[in-house]
Structure 1
Amino acid sequence: MKINKKISELRRLMLSEGISAYLVPMKNNFLDSDLRPNEKRIKFLSNFSGSAGILFIGIENNSIFVDGRYTTQAKIEVDEYNIEVNVFNFQSQIDWLKANLKDNSIIGFDPKIHSYDEVVKFRNGLKDKKITLKPLNYNLVDRISKYSPNQRIFDIVHHKKEYCGIEFKYKLDQIRSKYMKTSDIAIFCQDKEFISWLLNLRCYKKKYTPSVPAIAIITHRCCYIYLDKELTNPKLLDFGISPIKICDINLFGEHLSESMNGVKSILLDKKYISYFYFNKFLELSMQISELPNLSIHLAIKNNVEIEGMIEANIQDGSAICKLLYWIKSNIDNPNIDEVTITKKSTEVRKFNNRDYLGPSFPAIVGLNENSAIIHYSASRKTNKFIHNKGILLIDSGGQYKFGTTDITRTIAIGNPSKMMKELYTITLKAHIALANIKFNNNFSGRDLDLIAREVITKFGYNYNHGTGHGVGSVLSVHEGPQSISPMDNNKYFDEGMVFSNEPGIYLENKFGIRIENLMLLKKEKDMTIEENLYFEIISFAPLDKDLIDKELLDATEIEWINQYHVRVREKIIPQIGGDTVYWINKITSEI
């Protein structure tokens, strides 16, 4: 079915519901973007394949809103004759709806895939035009989509203590002790990352993110886990004598009175509860109190998790070194292209490694102008062969039983131009600036982002994404609430967190450069030091010396590069052998 035909079909359903617009978010029933094929509703309607955005379908006009990572990609993938492309921010969405809808219009939405907080914001932003929002009992896109729900069943397993470090009983006791002061208080959580961490559960065979698709209610006497039993197999679970009860998520409403027996107050995060579930608690006349950012608990890794993250990155670095050496050895091979390298990035990780579970996200492999598309995905239509020479960007990661990785290397294929070397070195200077920073708890995500971004803006460039994100432990490679972003005024920084450091420069239709390592946040033991927080790099793969312009570096930066390459040799060479060792020694020699 063509795009315009799909939209026409959707509009027919909209008219039958008496609505003038329909909201289509990039979210599932757990309010995240870890989507199954039948949940990729924006792609179905617009052909946009990115992982963040929201689509508005009106009776006359349509618009998709994407963030800075996807503006170039959206313009390529979306037919702007049918769907207008705009940059994502909430006020621009409100302005578009006001401009394209009449007073007293009604907007329809699926209450299971929009948070309560989001719906309230839309209502408040549109009330001056008397535009209202109407929750619908079914998803309109699903009615016209030919996709059938993915029936693959994922086995849920216990994440062993040797990987997670702490028993789930202890975590539950800590959460109850901190937040539930009386026996009539309960916690509702729709964040499957938090639930997977809390109960030490994983779906190892689940693609990219091994978190368990579940919601939970925690009371003083029991922890209720709600699962879709058509998608998951909880039979493998044995919680011993612990009061853990597994329930059918499709019977949540019918079961709620039982789980809330004796509970007068429910704690929840209005930003992370769907409009649907929030109203279920309202129907019980429950006292509702705000409990934001439970996920901060899993962001702070314990010693076992930290050791696992470091080991995962060492194993991952060994695989990346083999990949880079293979590419550099085949730059004239006419059969090597972006798709081949994407597959190879998984093969080198998987080879002889029983602890490797799979990629942590779809690999980004782009040559020349494709590398300027921040979240590019190689396809038959866009695929490039590396013998054409230029700049190659590889952003990939892995899930291991004991940790999660994410690393980006930009390398020269052939002889780089002066501009390529200049922009690579500027990006590297920004990366080093953040890696070297010492700071305290008064710093926000915006403050840290500026450390790297200012280096690049001084040379007249910028980048349309944050400088860093949190990384989970055998969970999502993009972990919140902590981030290093110009949009983040929060101060979520504590010892044991893991962040990416990934500044970049992108010249549309030419080439893009990004350098990314993961960093462990550590704290000085000397309590008299005011700036007591600092980062330790835990990713290990060579930087491309062919792209470094030494004249642009100061002595501190040169020392950092040389010392980093010493650590790469120390960590990686014992893991590998053959010609790759000679190549690593050569490419990591002093500059």
Structure 2
Amino acid sequence: MTTPLPRFQTFDDPSHAKGPERIEALRAALREIRADGFVVPRADEHQSEYVPANAERLAWLTGFTGSAGLAVVLADEAALFVDGRYTLQAPEQVDTGIITVVPLVETTPEAWLGAHLKPGQTLAYDPWLHTPDGVARLERAAIKAGASLRAVPDNLVDAVWAGRPRPPAGRVAAHPDDLAGETRSDKLDRIRAALAEGGIDTLVISDPHNLAWTFNLRGSDIAHTPLALGYALVPREGRAALYLTSPQIDADLRAALEPLADLRPRSAFDADLAGLCTGAARVRIDAATAAAALKDRIEAADGVADVGADPVTAMKAVKNPAEIAGTRAAHHRDGLAVTRFLAWLDRAAPEGVSEIAAVEALEDFRKEGGLLRDVSFPTISGSGPNGAIVHYRVTRATDRTAQPGELFLIDSGAQYADGTTDITRTVAIGTPTDAMRDRFTRVLKGHIAIARAVFPEGTTGAQIDAFARMSLWEAGLDYDHGTGHGVGAFLSVHEGPQRIAKTGTVALKPGMILSNEPGYYRSHAYGIRIENLILVEARTIPGGDRTMLGFETLTLAPIDRRLIDPAVLGARDAAWLDAYHARVREALSPDLDGPTRDWLEAATRPLGAV
């Protein structure tokens, strides 16, 4: 009997909420320290999107399992703040009798606190879970209400969380230079040059993604993202020091690091940081990921806490030729797996396909392709009404079988040794309605508008976000998430600072990788999203007098022709889709088995063909 391979995903309900008892336990802890409220963000000390199990405080306390959110618990009321991705999910997961779900588009936590804190009250917070700017916002809200803000040395949720998981301590290994495309020494030289230019004495690297990139290492402390938790200190002059939570550092990595950096235990970090602050040294901490506690420690040691951008973030965002080559190879491998899956789904759908069965089948196809290290996030596999939940995660309790006349949305990605992928396809199960085809086509038009965009150097993601929404806006429709996020090279599937969104203020540069994923969601009915990854590249425009940029589409997989209304799509967009499908067919067909090749041939026929 063959033993099945272990799976990267499980389908148990991750919610841990036990109703009012955990909220009441937290309130008892507040009374013990004579405070009136506590702020519980979904965060760890690195402001990670995906946090280790021991940092899932928000999920443990409230039951909400989304990747972003914040709760405020006061003596007589509690609120959970979520963005547009989670306005459907959150009310289904929390006890709304004791926790009010507040969409951020309606009220910010600071505005809510200003209205609900009473004069003389004290709001407590954990300084390791908030950035300096986040603390400043909380303080302004408290002052507005006549209340005060107090940092507590020990997290109050931890104090009442019986059976809290231990911190992770996964293996840390070297990332090969031929895949990284740049040596550790060269990267450190670039970082030191940036510090010198900015008049910075020391850089604190608090973002594990930047830690992994700088030192060409990959870890296993976080599910689905190859990160090692820890910090680094990079002085403008002298040796760097690396502080990893895990002691499991492989011999190759240790040998590679020893000429460049001291390997120190995490417990030595605070004292070493203080030692670099003497003489009013200017110490840069990252505004996006550094904890307010770091600022406090620098200032207590007479240093100057320079809160700004970690220069590594911008360096990491622009992929070098080796990273781009690896990403293209990963997308070819992933395109084969996704195409095999889509062909399987088409064959299996008439007999009934459950959401979990789809996740498991896609994972199996990816494993067969080789070099798979993990999925890049828990697969969003939503049929019918579950597809309308933007970040839906199927569990055994919510699993359903797709029915004829429904849409099936599957958003997934992979972590390969040479690159990270993220792709969404929406598929018709049976015959779609005219309304479904209209909405799908409008989403597709927005996707094509981004893919085809040409724009001058210096353009930000915010300036092109509207391209993806125009066709939806014309019909009085929209979606409540960004159009695109940055993507790493065998790192995080969500990488900054680049993004295509109303808040995307960073200029796009050649070598940046982003997603292109407009959508439409009809609550309790269906969801539509079409996502490819795109690479920013230079473009030459004959007769032009500006430096221009555009996008190369990296993802290779067919888009469901059955959901397209040619009259809505129009000839120009149809030509783009036909050319894309011809490219997919040419790239993937030689490596597919006969039946799948035949399926792909039919799935990528020109729109005008029968």
- TM tier, smaller: over 0.9
Take 1:307 and 1:156, find their aligned partners in 2: how far apart are those partners? 24
Q: Does 1:322 align with 2:322?
A: no
Q: State, as a whole percentage, how many aligned pairs show the same letter.
A: 31
Partner AA of 1:304 in structure 2: A
CA contact (8 A) 1:481 1:492 kept: no
For 1:251, the aligned partner's letter is A
Aligned-residue offset at 1:257: 3.7
Distance 1:84 1:206, change over 3 A: closer
- Following the alignment from structure 1 to structure 2, what is the Cα–Cα distance between the partners of residues 416 and 21? 50
Q: Report 1:350-365 matches (<5 A).
A: 350-353=367-370, 355-365=371-381
Listed as ranges, the matches of 1:155-304 within 5 Å are: 155-181=171-197, 185-203=201-219, 206-219=222-235, 220-229=237-246, 232-233=248-249, 236-239=253-256, 242-260=259-277, 264-294=281-311, 295-304=313-322
> TM-score, normalized by length of structure 2?
0.92
**Equivalent-residue separation in structure 2 for 1:431 and 1:325 (angstroms):** 23
Counterpart amino acid of 2:344? W
- Structure 1 distance, partners of 2:606, 2:144, is 64
Distance 1:558-1:526 versus aligned 2 partners, 3 A rule: closer
- What does residue 436 of structure 1 align with? 452
Task: State how far apart, in whole Å, the 2-side matches of 1:206 and 1:12 are.
Answer: 31
Q: Distance in 1 between matches of 2:93 and 2:108?
A: 21
| Separation (CA, whole Å) in 2 of partners of 1:184 and 1:435 | 39
Tell whether the 8 Å contact from 2:110 to 2:137 is kept in structure 1 after alignment: no
The answer to which of 557-566 and 527-536 deviates more is 527-536
Flag the 1:534–1:183 CA change in 2: closer, same or farther, 3 A. Answer: closer
| Structure 1 CA distance for aligned equivalents of residues 206 and 411 of structure 2 | 30
Letter in 1 for 2:598: Y
Deviation string 1:451-479 (CA, Å, 9 cap, x unpaired) is 11122111111101000000011111000
Contact persistence 2:229–2:246 (CA under 8 A): no
Contact 1:53 1:88 in 2 (8 A): no
Supply the distance in 2 between the matched residues of 1:539 and 1:183 (Cα, whole angstroms): 41
Q: 1:48 to 1:119 in 2, by over 3 A?
A: same
What SS does the aligned partner of 1:380 have?
Answer: coil
SS in 1 for 2:378: coil
CA contact (8 A) 1:333 1:387 kept: no
Supply the distance in 2 between the matched residues of 1:208 and 1:396 (Cα, whole angstroms): 12
Matched, 1:367 2:400: no
Tell me, what secondary structure is at the counterpart of 2:351? coil
State the distance in 1 between where 2:317 and 2:198 align.
27
Shift of 1:242: 2.1
Q: Is the 8 A contact 1:438 1:531 kept in 2?
A: no
Match of 2:530 among 515, 532, 540: 515
For 1:316 and 1:38, how far apart are their aligned partners in 2? 32
Q: Does the CA contact (< 8 Å) of 1:367 and 1:384 recur in 2?
A: yes
Does the 8 Å contact 2:380/2:410 carry over to 1?
yes
Coordinate RMSD, CA, aligned: 2.0
Relative to structure 1, the CA distance from residue 150 to residue 371 in structure 2 (aligned partners, 3 Å threshold; closer, same or farther) is same
Q: Say if 1:32 and 1:305 are closer, same or farther in 2 by CA, change over 3 A.
A: same
Aligned to 1:86: 102
Change (3 A) 1:69 1:184: closer
- 2:8 corresponding residue in structure 1: none
Contact 1:116 1:270 in 2 (8 A): yes
In the alignment, is the contact (CA less than 8 A) between 2:52 and 2:222 conserved in 1?
no
In the other structure, the counterpart of 1:35 is 51
Task: Tell whether 2:598 aligns with 1:582.
Answer: yes
Give 3-state SS (helix, strand or coil) of 2:348's partner: coil
Q: Deviations over 1:284-308 (max 9, x none)?
A: 1112334315211100000010111
Deviations 1:81-121 (A, max 9, x none): 11001112696212211222101211111111111111012
Scaled by the length of structure 1, what TM-score is found? 0.95
Give the conservation status (yes or no) of the 8 Å contact 2:173–2:249.
Answer: no
Query: Over residues 45-68 of structure 1, what are the superposed CA-to-partner deviations in whole Å (9 max), with x where a residue is unaligned?
Result: 111111011011111000000110
CA displacement at 1:549 relative to structure 2: 0.8
CA distance in 2 between partners of 1:206 and 1:311 (Å): 24
| Post-superposition offset of 1:519 | 0.3
Equivalent position to 1:483, from 477, 499, 505: 499
Cα separation, partners in 2 of 1:256 and 1:19, compared to 1, 3 Å: same
Secondary structure in 1 aligned to 2:255?
A: coil
Are 2:168 and 2:221, in contact at CA under 8 Å, matched by a contact in 1? Answer: no
- Indicate conservation of the 8 Å contact 2:380/2:394, yes or no: yes
Report SS of the residue matched to 2:88: helix
Aligned residue-pair number: 587
The answer to whether the Cα contact below 8 Å between 1:184 and 1:262 also exists between their aligned partners in 2 is no
Take 2:19 and 2:101, find their aligned partners in 1: how far apart are those partners?
15
- Asked if 1:23 corresponds to 2:19, the answer is no
Aligned to 1:115: 131
Question: What is the distance in 1 between the residues matched to 2:135 and 2:28?
Answer: 24
